[in-house]
Structure 1
């Protein structure tokens, strides 16, 4: 099985290193794509950019946090067999609202306006608070801002007909767990899987994330 791993808005692809290593040890392929480009792209441009970095067929595409905006387009570009949303924004497919329109409902109020790449203490508090010291060090090294305008402004079309798994960390301090649970039900028609973790369970609970990915692929 192939897994294409899509970094979020505050980490480089290195954030997926531990999960990728576990997936490969279990006999799978794991490709962490890098969405950062010299210039901002439209959603379709980022989907093609991911496509250019993958040479396989019918992967499971996994996205974290704000790149949930891009997950449907990337999954369709790669002819994905499934999508997995890890502590991720799920677009408003039927209502047409953008992430920007839903900021107050979606994010913890203390997080709005924070740039964790400029404030390691805030990164530890909101993103990596459940990590052990070694993991926290690795996580802080992975910090990198990815915030093209399209993430906030994009209005999704119809939901793709691709099976979805939603992973909700119950101790997330960044995105509201209750919002993610409801969005999974209302927008994707699935019941979220819950994990006892903060916003970056791929860092703090990599074995559990790898197990969920392989078990639900």
Structure 2
């Protein structure tokens, strides 16, 4: 049995992981929905990692799943506790010394968004929520998530990512083909340039844990199974620094 450590994106309450947690438990695994101090102006990247490590406690057989802005926190956790696998789920892969607020310009995100504009037709008006994040999420799930609004402090956005290189942990990147915040072609390039690996892909938008929790759970469980080697066999190779 693996324990999936679910690290949220910016300004997110951990409740948005609930459908995925239910699916993982049905498949015989455990999960920790990490709450980050995202509204605390005194909390930066180090405090985000502290919060995650504290909530992990003494659990073992860990697979860290970092979503969106959580991509800056997930690798820090892997430096602090023994982790079997890091899964970057449509996440922001940082470079050493880069602050999260610098990531957008450094990766060319604005240009990618301009190139992707118009591919999705007119904005949906089905439930009045942001179509960039929730275009493929059932309205009732969007409404449930919106009951738990969180703000995002700017403090961690200004802090350089402190690691000198990617942690020595097996890493997978899972992008979402329908992601409107991080278009697929853009993320394929960023992942290749920054992690030196080819990302895996899944259907769905940025909030795939809400729109396709069963499919996401199947993919994560398959990662856990594949990453558990026979005695003496090497684990999956981690990205190049």
TM-score range, shorter chain: 0.7 to 0.9
Q: Which stretch of structure 1 is more off in the superposition, 171-180 or 56-65? A: 171-180
Q: What are structure 1's unaligned runs of at least 5 residues?
A: 110-119
Q: 1:115 aligns to what? A: none
Residue 161 of structure 1: aligned partner = 168
Tell me, which stretches of 5 or more residues in structure 2 are unaligned?
115-126, 225-241
Distance in 2 separating the partners of 1:200 and 1:207: 13
Compared with structure 1, are the counterparts of its residues 130 and 28 closer, same or farther at alpha carbon in structure 2 (3 Å cutoff)?
Answer: same
User: CA–CA distance in 1 between the matches of 2:158 and 2:67?
Assistant: 15
Q: What SS does structure 2 have at the residue aligned with 1:141?
A: coil
In the other structure, the counterpart of 1:204 is: 211
In the other structure, the counterpart of 1:89 is: 92
Question: Which residue in 2 is equivalent to 1:216?
Answer: 223
Task: Give the aligned length.
Answer: 204
TM-score computed with the length of structure 2 as normaliser: 0.76
Confirm or deny: 8 A CA contact 1:169 1:195 kept in the other structure.
Answer: yes
How many Å separate the matches in 2 of 1:190 and 1:3? 22
CA contact (8 A) 2:93 2:191 kept: yes
**Over the residues paired in the alignment, what is the CA RMSD in angstroms?**
2.1
Distance in structure 1 (CA, Å) of the matches to 2:142 and 2:181: 16
Structure 1 residues 129 and 85, CA gap change in structure 2 (3 angstroms): same
Using the size of structure 1 for normalisation, the TM-score is: 0.84
In structure 2, relative to structure 1, the CA distance for the partners of 1:152 and 1:206 (3 Å cut) is: farther
Larger radius of gyration: 2
Secondary structure in 2 matching 1:127: helix
* Higher deviation after alignment, 50-59 or 61-70: 50-59
Task: Quote the residue 1:113 is aligned against.
Answer: none
Superposition pairs for residues 133-212 of structure 1, below 5 Å? 133-156=139-162, 157-212=164-219
